[in-house]
A and B are shown apart, each in its own frame.
Chain A
C-alpha cells in the first residue's frame, strides 16, 4: 500500500534524524544533567529519560522547529525533568560537584594546585547560585550555548537571558571572593 510505504519511509527519515540528534548532543545532555544533579548515577538516569522523552515528541518538535537547532529543546526537556526530580524527591544535589574534567586532573606544581583551588571555589559557588542563574551558566560555559539558544531552552527573551547571564557571573564572582575571605595587605 502506498500510504503504508510512505509512512515507513517517513518514520525511517525521522529515526535517522533522531539518531543524528542523539549522537550530536549526548555529551551536551549528559554534561547539563551532571552539573544539575551533581553525580554520575543520577545524571545517567536523567540523560536516559531526556532522550526517551525526546524520541516520543521528536516528530512534532522537528515540525515546529522550522529548521532551527533542536539542542535548546533537548536541554529544556532535561531542565524540566531535573526540576521534577528535585521537586518530587524534595532534595538538592547530595554530593558537591567535584570530579568533573579538569578538577580531577593529577597536580604536580604549586601553580596548578592554586589553579585547582580556584576552579573548586568556582564550582562550589555555582552550586550556591539561584537555579535559573546556575542553569544559564551551565548552558553557556559547559555546553557553549549562545544567548539565543539559552533563551529558547529557558523560555525567556534574548534580552532577559543576556541580563540573567551577566547577573549570574557577577553574583558568582561575589560568592567566590567572599569565600576567599578578606585580602591580606
Chain B
C-alpha cells in the first residue's frame, strides 16, 4: 500500500471526484424543462410524466423506435403487395415479374422512408 494511503479520507475524496454531466444531457434537459415551463399546471397532471418517471419505461423510446422500424417495413410490404395483381398482368414471364416486384419494393421503401424520416 502506498504511503499516501494513510490519508484514507483524502483518497476517498479523490476517488469519488464529482462527474461533469455531458453537454448533450444539459442541452436535452434544458429543452425538456423549457417545454415543461410552457405548459400550464393543469396540463402537467395529464402529461405522460407519470409513465416517464417509471424506470421500467425508460426503454420505451428504444422500443418505439424498433416498433417504428418494423411498422415501416410492414408498410412497404403491404403497399408492394397491393400492386401484385397489376404486376402479374403486366409482366412477361417470371423473371420480369421478379424485376417489377423489386422495383416496386424499392419505390415503396423510398416513399415510406420520406414519410417517416
Contacts and interface: CB of A to CB of B under 8 A. Distances in A.
Interface of A: 11, 15, 18-19, 22, 26-28, 30-31, 34-35, 40, 43-49, 51-53, 55-56, 81, 84-85, 88-89, 100-103, 111, 114-115, 117-120, 122-123, 126, 137-138, 141-143, 169, 172-173, 177, 180, 183
B29 A126 contact: no
A138 B18 CA distance: 9
A119 B14 contact: yes
Contact-residue size bin, chain B (C-beta under 8 Å from the other chain): 35 or more
22 contacts: A15-B37, A26-B21, A26-B29, A27-B20, A30-B19, A30-B25, A46-B55, A49-B53, A52-B53, A53-B49, A55-B36, A84-B54, A84-B56, A85-B55, A89-B56, A101-B17, A102-B15, A126-B15, A137-B12, A137-B16, A142-B16, A142-B18
Give 6 nearest A-B pairs by CB, closest first: A101-B17, A30-B21, A142-B16, A141-B16, A122-B15, A85-B55
B37 A51 contact: no
Contacts of A11: 41
A25 B31 CA distance: 17
Interface stretch (B3-11, B66-74, B94-102, B103-111): B3-11
Contacts of A81: 53, 55
